Chain A
Amino acid sequence: MTSTFPYLTTLILLPAGAAVVVALIPSAQRRAVQVVGFVASLAVLGIASAATVAFTAGYGGYQFVASHQWISAFGISWSLGMDGISLFLVLMTGLLFPIALAASGDRAGDKSFVAWILVLEAGCLGGFLALDLLVFFVFFELTLVPVYFLIAGWGHERRGYAAGKFFLYTLGASAFLFVGILALVAIHASQTGVTTFDVRALTDTHLSGAAGVLLFLAFTAAFAVKMPLFPFHTWSPDAYREAPAAGSLLLAGVMAKLGAYGIIRFDLALFPRAVVTLAPLLLSLGAIGIIYGAIVAAVERDLKRLVAYSSLAHLGFIVIGAFALSREALTGAVLQMVNHGLYTAALFILIAVLYKRLGTFSVREMRGLQRRVPVLAGVFTVVMLASIGVPGLNGFVGEFLILAGTFLTHRWWAVAATAGVVLAAVYLLWAYQQAFQGKPTIEPGAIRDLSWREGLTLAPLVILIVLLGIFPGPLLNRIGPSVTQVVTHVEVVAHQRPPQVGAPGVALRSGGAQQ
């Protein structure tokens, strides 16, 4: 697929340019700020959709590849590319940003707020599209700045603490990634004489066992903090809790995926042997995250922190899917990244809507809301069920693929993870029960149901949650070939043969997931 239109470069430069434009608008022109910000993010969604349409399904390699020299002295090039793994993450990013702006209400007229959101969008898209390790790192780091300002400037009570903790934690972990990238490039240069940061070239680097493991750990440290993966998650409940609605939504919906994406794109491609060696460790951390997150969420009475811990559990599934090293599990992980983005975004919006009406995040202070705000309660139910992973909604498809795929290769971890599905039902239903059922404490009419504007903001998410639950085929067709390439690469390099499973019930392996 060759295309003359530079989709990917435009996807990054458009929000960045729009951020500059917004910064130049006088701050009194709130309406103009709002319009420019929203239109720009919609335009990004448009381009992402156009790229999706132009994307060739069934081809696993990179498409729309852009490659320009940037810092030739260091072998750094502006290399971008998109494959089935990044395609839907980009599309989801394009979708969530306008929704985040729409869900921000008055703040969408705050010039610096909108500018930071757009910078964040450029950073996230750059991270998903970069094929040059340093370009990836640049965007990976760059996302910290806008999120820091979003939390610090517009967050809740303890925003200074949360923003600082978030920034330092992630920046500290990035130190390892940075040195890891440089070390990998140095090793590659000493083998080939070519200094390059291009991930496609670096894939061929021969790493000794120890070097591979160390580099893998350095890379994974940064990704694990960014996701977050247990036990590197301690920043996330604070950051999710104190961030403004748009901030939490983007943190959990998009930023967390940068970490998971980094694992799939870079860890699996660059260090296949280390991945095979250390897969049990990462699988265990993922499984612990699932169960630990679910247990903490079950006792958490603050809705935002609850979603933070439930995210920890869901990201545990994604990690398990990534390190199970089977096509089905990895396909499920990629799909689950998109799914999690959709329903977590919807959950955060709903929580923000409740906060606007009640001034609290605590479920203790909510009771019987179902009678007072039935539409809101209905939407909440749908989103919650998707998050639990009820069949027919999108959460089920991803989780099922992950569990099925993991069962093929790492049976007992799949068993442990399945317990997490049950626990997810426990904490979400408890929270729902407490907040929405029972005898209402609020007088009828004292609280508004969803406004049409809030409804419109949520509508695309809810529609997609249902649609992807029933009809995930188009996604799987596009994700599949790229995932196959990644898994084949790991198997070939690590001399791993595809799993041999005798059980008749597991016919999935032959590629059922890609239908």
Chain B
Amino acid sequence: MSLVAALSMLSSLGVPVTFVTPHVNYVAILPELILIGGALVLLVSGQLIFAKVPAAFYSVGSGTIAAAALVASLVIWRDVQARGPFTTIADSVAVDGFAIAFLVLVSCILILASAIANDFLVREAIEGPEYHVLALLAGSGAMLMASANDLILIFVALEIMSIPLYILAGMDSKRRESGEAAMKYFVLGAFSSAIFVYGIALVYGATGSTNLAQIAAYLSTNIVTSNGVLLAGLGLLLVGFGFKVSAVPFHMWTPDVYQGAPTPATGFMTALAKAGGFAALLRVFFSTFGMLRTDWQPLLWAMAIVTLLLGAILGLVQRDVKRMLAYSSINHAGFILVGLAAATSQGISGSVYYVFVYALLVLGSFAVITVVGGRGDHDHDLDAYRGLGRRQPVLALAFAVLLLGQTGIPFTTGFLAKLYVVSAAVRAHSYALAIIAMLSAAIAAAFYLRLIFLMYGVRLPSGTGSDEGALSLPVKGDLPEEPEPAGAAPRSVNLGPVSVPGPTAVAIFVTVAVTIVFGIWPAPLVDFVRAAGFLF
């Protein structure tokens, strides 16, 4: 109203006004709109319908909204496959296979996460729609990151995704660590956002545009002779992205935040931030700055190597499962960077495939950790997993499959993901990177296996010695704490059976099924990812 008033005032003063609003193809951004609109509806609807809102209402609502976004994404996918990619809203949104692949992924993440969150919220007696609303908003941000075709929009999307995630990390007001995690995540995240914006400014200064297509066009028609500003801008963008995807050396927040955040939020955050962060990172670096690949490739090569090794090595010495998976997620980020460092379309497909696979693996893993964590969300020591294989064989088996998937054992999706990115690296003649990546996978296998061994290995025939052997993988000497004396009861962790609520069980089952089915029969997922091409 005020805008119209201002415009009419200006025109009455005789100032010529041409206010052109861009054409908006609403169908093209329907999934994002569904998520944002749905989140707002969810926020108010519960209070309007019920006197006391059952928790399941919000979860079902959130799941339904995400499912609607999934359907919308698939409709657009078919459209794009039939008629080719296009841009909309003044070229700031790209609707191409790459973007929609991520829309599909984010929708799936949201559906699974709402099921897992439901049981957690009930268990911890966290009421209200906020958790789900924030998750949906973060999801819309991740979707926008994947489809953004303009650096400014990428920044906006980054914030839309990140701010709800900061809050989600602090959702569990009963645990002090949760608040600490939120604070840490927020402060460091705000820093990295600022650096990111600075990067945008420099790139704009160097190329005269923030639009990705125009930057690419500029770079392909002009040779930037003194390219210091451009490269500095690129480097700062990499810092911003590196923070989101927890690539070394911008990973410092990862273990603390993973440990402190409510467990289902950790899983959701990992899956979503990796999806959104890598979507934008891959698009900006490969598609937009592809001309400069000789400049950024060495940087990513080095980043991939330190990320791979640091994640794998520091993961070995963790006793807290959430911290352990935090370092594991750093290692996986390294693998995804391997695909990008190859800077070939095979490498990009590999990275996308890896993100898909990893997002589901990590969601399922944190769902198991949520369940084992028990009321109060604190049983995350390795000891809580001691003998899980006997107490809850099905849950332990599911976790073992998810961990083996992350290890990259054949006949799980994780194997093909590693094969995909590493073969891209080999094709690009970065043999050293390929070998280091596989060695880091072997190192990381040690801590996945330790967990599996704890779940199954405490099966001693009576009288053949102590339990001590159970923990004595070669990494034992590095453990920060003294292992308890032989035969002593484990510390105050709950070793009774934990309840696995239905929706979480279904979510875990889905992730496990995907891991195995597409591990044995990978063609559909591979074809889907290969069809997900860039606009330009």
User: Which residues of A pack against B, CB within 8 Å?
Assistant: 71-74, 112, 134, 137-139, 141-142, 145, 148-149, 152-154, 156-161, 163-165, 167-168, 171-172, 174-176, 178-179, 182-183, 185-186
Contacts and interface: CB of A to CB of B under 8 A. Distances in A.
B53 interface: no
Point out which of B423, B443, B450, B526 has the most chain A C-beta atoms below 10 A from its C-beta. B423
B449 A164 contact: yes
Contact of A74 (B419, B426, B445, B472): B419
Contacts of A145: 404, 409
8 contacts: A73-B526, A141-B410, A148-B449, A152-B453, A171-B445, A175-B438, A178-B419, A178-B422
Given A73-B530, A168-B446, A160 B409 contact: no
Contacts of A172: 439, 442-443
A182 B526 contact: no
A152 B456 contact: yes
Most buried by B among A158, A167, A171: A171
Interface string B437-480: 01101110110011001001101010011000111111100000
A247 to B, nearest CB: 14
B469 A160 contact: yes
Contacts of A156: 464-465
B334 to A, nearest CB: 14
Given A160-B469, A179-B434, A152 B409 contact: no
A488 B488 CA distance: 63
Chain A interface mostly: helix
Contact of A71 (B469, B474, B522): B522
B445 A142 contact: no
B423 A164 contact: no
B449 A138 contact: no
A139 B415 CA distance: 12
Nearest to B410: A138
Contact of A183 (B431, B441, B465): B431
A182 B409 contact: no
A168 B445 contact: yes
Given A157-B464, A172-B439, A179-B435, 4 more contacts: A71-B522, A164-B450, A165-B474, A178-B419
B523 interface: yes
Contact of B474 (A149, A168, A186): A168
Contacts of B415: 138, 141
Contact of A160 (B434, B438, B471, B523): B471
A138 B411 CA distance: 8
A213 to B, nearest CB: 14
Contacts of A165: 474
Given A145-B409, A168-B474, A178-B422, A157 B469 contact: yes
A144 to B, nearest CB: 8
Nearest to A134: B419
Contacts, number: 113
Contact of B445 (A137, A152, A167): A167
Contacts of B450: 164
B473 A175 contact: no
A72 B404 CA distance: 24
Contacts of B416: 71
B527 interface: yes
Interface residues of B, number: 42
B212 to A, nearest CB: 28
A383 to B, nearest CB: 26
B435 A164 contact: no
A179 B426 contact: yes
Interface string B375-397: 00000000000000000000000
B427 interface: yes
A73 B523 contact: yes
A138 B438 CA distance: 14
A154 B435 CA distance: 33
A154 B459 contact: yes
B442 A168 contact: yes
Contact of A153 (B443, B456, B474): B456
Contacts of A112: 456
Given A152-B456, A167-B449, A168-B442, A182 B423 contact: yes
Interface string B399-410: 000001000011
Interface of B: 404, 409-411, 415-416, 419, 422-423, 426-427, 431, 434-435, 438-439, 441-443, 445-446, 449-450, 453, 456-457, 459, 461, 464-465, 469-475, 522-523, 526-527, 530
A74 B473 contact: no
B472 A161 contact: yes
A445 to B, nearest CB: 24
Given A73-B526, A142-B411, A175-B435, A157 B456 contact: no
A152 B389 CA distance: 13
Contact of A163 (B434, B453, B471): B453
A179 B442 contact: no
A92 B449 CA distance: 30
Nearest to A153: B459
Contact of B472 (A73, A137, A153, A160): A160
Nearest to B440: A175
A143 B431 CA distance: 26
Q: Which 9 A-B pairs have the closest CB atoms?
A: A175-B438, A164-B473, A138-B410, A171-B442, A182-B426, A160-B469, A172-B442, A157-B465, A182-B423
A67 to B, nearest CB: 17
A179 B438 contact: yes
A8 B500 CA distance: 41
B449 A182 contact: no
Contacts of B449: 148, 164, 167
Contact of B469 (A138, A142, A159, A183): A159
Contacts of B410: 137-139, 141-142
B457 to A, nearest CB: 4
A66 B528 CA distance: 28
Contacts of B443: 168, 172
Nearest to A178: B438
B387 to A, nearest CB: 12
A160 B423 contact: no
A161 B469 CA distance: 7
A405 to B, nearest CB: 35
B466 to A, nearest CB: 8
Which of B410, B471, B526, B530: most chain A Cβ within 10 A?
B410
Contacts of A182: 419, 422-423, 426-427, 434
Contact of A175 (B423, B442, B446, B471): B442
A144 B527 CA distance: 30
Contacts of A160: 453, 457, 469-473
A183 B438 contact: no
Contacts of A71: 416, 522-523, 526
Contacts of A158: 469, 472
A149 B456 contact: yes
Contacts of A178: 419, 422, 438
